Amino acid sequence: MDLEFQTIVERYSASLYRLAYSFLGSRQDAEDVLQEVFLKFLRKRPDYAEEFQLRAWLRTVTANQCRDILRSPWRRRTLPLEAAASEPEPNPDPDLEAALNQLKPKDRAIVYLFYYEQCSSAEIAQTLHMTDAAVRSRLTRARQTLKTLLGGDEDGE
């Protein structure tokens, strides 16, 4: 597979940005992670025969980068100021966002990958370095939380 870098950016930037935003809850941090992921891509130039392999690699790198940021003591210390200064994300559904923010970062990423990216539990487990059972367990708990927060009619399916 030999795709132009700009083609890859246009094809995967939005998906990776949403994954990063699901993890971090910050527009600025998500864009920083996106830039770092593509820099790594340029440095390593992974050559995969199939496109899904490249997509999986990009998702894994994005998840690892988000995890590193979440572990960073610097981000934990400066998060309130950055959150106040960051540009607000255009939010068509504030209630849903508020409910999602009640979930843990990794649970938000699982919900995004499962419901929007249509990833299987196995793919999610591989991307987030988890077991398949743990992904399904976390997904069940996240669905129950969202059902509770958003009302009885939200079943999550």
Partner 1 sequence: MANERLCAYYEAQRPSEACMVRLCNLEQKPRPKPLILRLALPIAAACLLILVLVTQIRPTPEGVTAPLATSTPTARETLKPEPTPSAADTPTQSPQIPVATSVPIRESPAIPPESEGGGRPKPSPSDMNMGSDKPKPEPSPTDWWWLGGMGGSGSSEPPSSDPGKEDLPTPQMPEEVTDITAVYENGDLIFTDLNTGETVIIDMEDEPLEPGDSGAAGIHIFGRDLIVAVVVGETAADVAVSLYELPNLEAEP
Which residues are at the interface with partner 1 (CB under 8 A)?
A: 5-6, 9-10, 13-14, 17-18, 21, 27, 30-31, 34-35, 38-39, 42, 87, 89-93, 96-97, 100, 111-112, 115-116, 146, 153-157
**DSSP state letter for 92:** S
Q: Which is nearer to partner 1, 128 or 142 (CB)?
A: 142
Q: How far is the CB of 38 from partner 1 (least distance, A)?
A: 5
Q: Are 22 and 109 in contact (CB under 8 A)?
A: yes
Q: Which is nearer to partner 1, 98 or 133 (CB)?
A: 98
Cβ of residue 146: shortest distance to partner 1, in angstroms?
8
In the bound complex, what is the minimum distance in angstroms from residue 9's beta carbon to partner 1? 5
Q: Which is nearer to partner 1, 50 or 155 (CB)?
A: 155
What's the gap between Cα 123 and its chain centre? 13
Distance CA 1, CA 4 (A): 10
Q: How far is the CB of 5 from partner 1 (least distance, A)?
A: 4
Q: Please, what is the Cα angle at 66 between 60 and 72, to 5 degrees?
A: 140
Please say which residue, 27 or 136, places its beta carbon nearer to partner 1.
27
* DSSP one-letter string for 29-88: HHHHHHHHHHHHHHHH----SSHHHHHHHHHHHHHHHHHHHHH-HHHHHHHHHHHHHSPP
Closer CB to partner 1, 132 or 154, in the complex: 154
The distance of closest approach from Cβ of residue 73 to partner 1 in the complex, given in angstroms and rounded to an integer, is 26
Residue at token pair 């999986």: 56
